[in-house]
A and B are shown apart, each in its own frame.
Chain A
Amino acid sequence: MHKKAAADQGEVVVLCCERALKKGELGQEERLESGNLTVRSAIIPCSSKVEVSYLLRILEDGADGVEVIACPDGKCKFLVGNVRAERRVEYAKHLLERVGMGAGRLGITRAEGLSRKDVVAIAEKRAEQSSAFGPNPMKEERNR
């Protein structure tokens, strides 16, 4: 999860609920390349496991964008985990906005039956949204 990418490469972290994926599509933690973009994915048992602090820590570590993938409405194994996840993403976006980091670095996608390719496409979209704010200034801090 913490393999460092070159400073000029874009980086998006995807936190994906296991039920949103087709079975066996992705390993527990993976690194996917797509052109200049590095996508680091991690599978979580439910999108509600994501805390606001995790999202901010990931950005603090230098990722340019973070996407949470959650189940569609009504499909959450834990009933409203996906709803909670959405609220937390909203709150985290609000905090990013307040400090000028750019709310667009963060997002949530509701989906099911995703393939590896789908995940990469979602990450690319997030990278595009994040690019409006430039590369994450926190990348510089990695070597301290």
Chain B
Amino acid sequence: MIIGEWKPIEETVKNLATHKKVLLVGCATCVAECAVGGEKEAETLAPLLRMALKKEGHSVEIATKTLERQCEWEFVEEIADSVKGVDAILSIACGIGVQALADRYQDKFVYPGVNTTSLAIREKPGLWTARCGACGDCMLGETFGLCPVARCAKSLMNGPCGGTRRTGKCEIDENIDCVWNLIVKKAEERGRLGDLETVRAPRNWGNSGHGGPKRMVREDLQS
């Protein structure tokens, strides 16, 4: 899922302070899964923001609506009536959702309430960790299902650097595994250490965001 975090409340308060009526829009998919932008969070953030704004001397009405997904036009359409009476929209979906709302409701100010950070999995309750770097050239079949692009701080391709801690964690964060340590261990388990001896050539990053804003076309699916 795509994960994110609430923006600092002060930042959102600043954005909303000049408005009178705001629609706070949640999303029931990725951001709900990471407890940031679902219905529960919309119902938590709305009163919190009203109180924060009041503390700064602003009376702002904040209504809430949660869509199944903010990245699908048919769901985005569902709030058309609610949007009519407001002067700003606060989206707590990922950046895609924020833009979809801004695209569809062009005459409204649209603000993000969330900082989108990563493609991640919920490892266990309360812990989400990045798994995918959207690199456009997936090598998971060669690294035993462990991604060095997203999970190695330096996206190394040929094994671990000298920064692996004694605990097997990454030099930049004692809570993050050195993924290359995990890859080597997996290779050992499978009797495939030899696979890791080949020097991997420099990657082609052209199919990722590095190659430019992605544009994917399927002519067979066009109307």
Contacts and interface: CB of A to CB of B under 8 A. Distances in A.
A–B in direct contact per CB < 8 Å: yes
Interface string A88-109: 0000000110111100000000
Nearest to A95: B48
A22 interface: no
B52 A100 contact: yes
User: Which among B9, B50, B51, B52 has the highest number of chain A CB atoms within 10 Å?
Assistant: B51
Contacts of B61: 144
A120 B148 CA distance: 59
Nearest to B42: A53
Interface of A: 51-53, 56-57, 59-60, 95-96, 98-101, 137-138, 140-141, 144
Contacts of B47: 53, 56-57, 59-60
Contact of B59 (A57, A96, A99, A141): A141
B102 to A, nearest CB: 26
B44 interface: yes
B40 A99 contact: no
Contact of B44 (A52, A101, A137, A138): A52
B55 A101 contact: yes
21 contacts: A51-B40, A51-B44, A53-B44, A56-B44, A56-B48, A57-B43, A60-B47, A60-B50, A95-B44, A98-B9, A99-B9, A99-B48, A99-B52, A101-B51, A101-B52, A137-B51, A138-B50, A138-B51, A138-B54, A140-B59, A141-B50
Nearest to A101: B51
B44 A99 contact: no
A121 B12 CA distance: 38
A90 to B, nearest CB: 13
A122 B40 CA distance: 28
A141 B20 CA distance: 13
B51 A60 contact: yes
B54 A137 contact: yes
B55 A144 contact: no
Interface in B151-206: none
Contacts of A137: 51, 54-55
B210 to A, nearest CB: 37
